[in-house]
Structure 1
């Protein structure tokens, strides 16, 4: 009996050791789905120690473990039969807000004396979205100006959306001599810029672009859209990216009276809507299959993007790291530009390239989203299934 028992112990012990080692290794894998840790990661985007800490052997081992666990969470995401036309072309984005966005406070002068902004004093914050004044809906900055100017009393009640919550604020206006009442706010009702198309679906007419939300340049808050237009754009110049100084694609809108489509959603994963079926056949390219996450591997890949007046072109990149994500977010992977031609033109990833589709093994796997400020050839990409989910092609 003792001999049999000893044999069993010898057989079981190595298995137990392996199990313990695996558990310890799994416990060391960062949980990038946790919002707080994602915020911490974002705070370190300028610190290249993020990359220095990635040991090559650890990358390979952890990636295998991550994929084993990712399989459970993404197996239900049916992307096998989805084909979309890859973008890579420059697009113009023009958005109008749902209400008016507060982008600043302004002091008010009364008898040559500076008074604090009445709205700021009442608790109106930068980034607030004003949707109603005295119970009446407003859509444009002029609507708010008219309400203040034509007010019959020195009090206004504002309905505000702040961090997804409805807030009411009563403002006691200040009257300036010969100029009427003042509220002391800088507001905005629209924004525009240049980005890159990610994909277009011929069957549904739906498109996805950017890979991250459109945010207001002053508040850094996502722009709550009332309506938006997708426009044809042409790149006229490139500001190369350098360490500490992000580069930029400079473009102009074309054929503004003939939009390519309507933008309906602005989410954490990009902008989405329905396009003109004729106008959106940009490159006369054929549809391309979408990759499942367990098909994505560390190593060589490519992006399709436009950095001059010519058509979109494919450039070589390398996938440096894949993150496990169980919640939507624009930072799914770390990518590095390796194409010498693209590096010579742009210095790496520049503003305006957001949305450039990422291709590996003949399939679309994601889109470019961000650049590391101190390392312009390195940045982030988003998994394509997050974008497909927001546009409604998968559930």
Structure 2
């Protein structure tokens, strides 16, 4: 009889536990965590004090080096990896999690439209250019010696600096008519091939037989600038418009940009910002990196862009939740404005990924002006609860009011 009663009590306890868990949705997020998560001191305090994972989950610190002070803040002479433990009802340990504690840094939040000019490291093959020889037309790409998207870096051990370098090198007296060694990068791997340039009977010059490009330019949105004038923008790479290959960056420059108009986005046809920027003395900074999470570099100390930036704390991806948010962007002139959006889905990511969340534009002002998210708005800061939590990266082609965003965590790690 006692055993039956114990079974009943156990089953009832399980049902109560299941009911509590079902009402306590943040509980499930605990089991999405793996590896190490980064938190600031204030975020650690919020998790511990404010029932962040629900009223039934308590958090305790396992590292004695962390001292809780009288004002509920934390001090640690050895900032770095620590551990916290989650307990159900403050009794039953359910998970131990590694964390990395960092100081409560702030960044200057952008939203400015910026002009971008990138020079490639080498030249990018974007198409074929058939050459008329004594034996007829020759197409190098059809011979599979080169491919669209290849970056050519050297010919006969001479650096290919720009588009004109190719003609200069292959028409040198010692190279004319010879089979030449060509080095380059194909799909992020170095390759070497041998090519005999064609003699073009029309021009009297030797030609490689490909169209190449050595630069790219466009308009994007500044996301943030840190205390060392280091900036992040776009949230995705700058790619060649024809090959869709990530630009292999040699150097780049940032310019002030004014938005003159907008091509409104509609279903099936993403719109774009029409911006104007002047090169030369208008340079505001340099671009040093172009990767999957945006472009990165430094602003000049005297850059005029600083005038429109606002300081804001950083929000970890742990704290990004479905709900109301804002984005900052420029859709008219040089004026940065805030617009309402809704974060409709978040993906807790243990590893870097550029599609961290899905957002929907809810602000009728922005929808009326642009149709939603348009090209050129990539990099627009996403703000939730007074913190910068990410940046806009992509628009949904079938619904321009929706798009993807990347967590600010991933941008700051670049």
**Smaller-chain TM-score bracket:** 0.7 to 0.9
Give per-residue Cα distances to partners, 1:91-131, cap 9 Å, x unaligned.
0110001111111122222358322x235414311111111
- Partner residue of 2:117? 94
Q: For the Cα contact (< 8 Å) 1:154–1:181, is it kept in 2?
A: no
Which residue does the alignment assign to 1:212? 236
Q: CA deviation at 1:17?
A: 8.0
Distance 1:16 1:108 in 2: 78
* Unmatched segments (≥5 aa) in structure 2: 39-98
Whether the aligned pair in 2 keeps the contact of 1:291 and 1:364 (CA below 8 Å) is: yes
Deviations 1:18-45 (A, max 9, x none): 99999xx9xxxxxxxxxxxxxxxxxxxx
2:326 corresponds to 1:269: no
Mean CA deviation greater in 218-227 or 12-21: 12-21
Q: Please identify, of 258-267 and 63-72, the stretch whose mean Cα deviation from structure 2 is larger.
A: 63-72
The 1:181–1:315 alpha-carbon spacing in structure 2 relative to 1, beyond 3 Å, is same
Deviates more, 1:284-293 or 1:344-353: 284-293
Comparing 188-197 and 271-280, the one that deviates more: 271-280
Q: Deviations over 1:312-334 (max 9, x none)?
A: 00000000100122232221100
Q: Structure 1's 10 and 228: CA in aligned 2 closer, same or farther, altered over 3 A? A: same
Alignment partner of 1:70 is 2:53: no
Higher RCO (Cα < 8 Å, 6 or more apart): 1
Q: 1:78 to 1:369 in 2, by over 3 A?
A: farther
Alpha-carbon distance in 1 for matches of 2:376, 2:308: 22
Q: How many pairs are equivalent? A: 351
Structure (1 or 2) with the greater helix fraction: 1
Distance 1:100 1:264 in 2: 18
Report the CA distance shift for 1:305/1:6 in structure 2 as closer, same or farther (over 3 A).
Answer: same
Aligned to 1:43: none
Name the CA shift for 1:386/1:18 in 2 (closer, same or farther; >3 Å).
Answer: farther
Q: Tell me the CA shift for residue 181 of structure 1.
A: 1.9
Taking structure 2 as the reference length, what is the TM-score of the superposition?
0.78
TM-score (norm 1): 0.82
Structure 2 residue matching 1:345: 3-state secondary structure: helix
Name the structure with the higher strand share.
Answer: 2
Q: Aligned to 2:276, which of 240, 249, 252?
A: 252
- Deviation of 1:256 after TM superposition, in Å, equals 3.0
Aligned to 2:197: 173
Match among 305, 325, 333 for residue 309 of structure 1: 333
Aligned match of 1:142: 164
RMSD: 2.6
Shift of 1:385: 0.7
CA contact (8 A) 1:212 1:330 kept: yes
Q: State whether residues 238 and 247 of structure 1, in contact with CA within 8 Å, keep that contact through their aligned partners in structure 2.
A: yes
CA distance in 2, matches of 1:65, 1:271: 35
Mapped to 2, the partners of 1:64 and 1:249 lie a distance apart of 42
Which deviates more, 74-83 or 96-105? 74-83
Structure 1: gaps spanning 5 or more residues: 26-56, 391-395
Q: How does 1:121-140 map to 2 (within 5 A)?
A: 121-140=143-162
Asked whether 1:81 is paired with 2:104, we answer yes
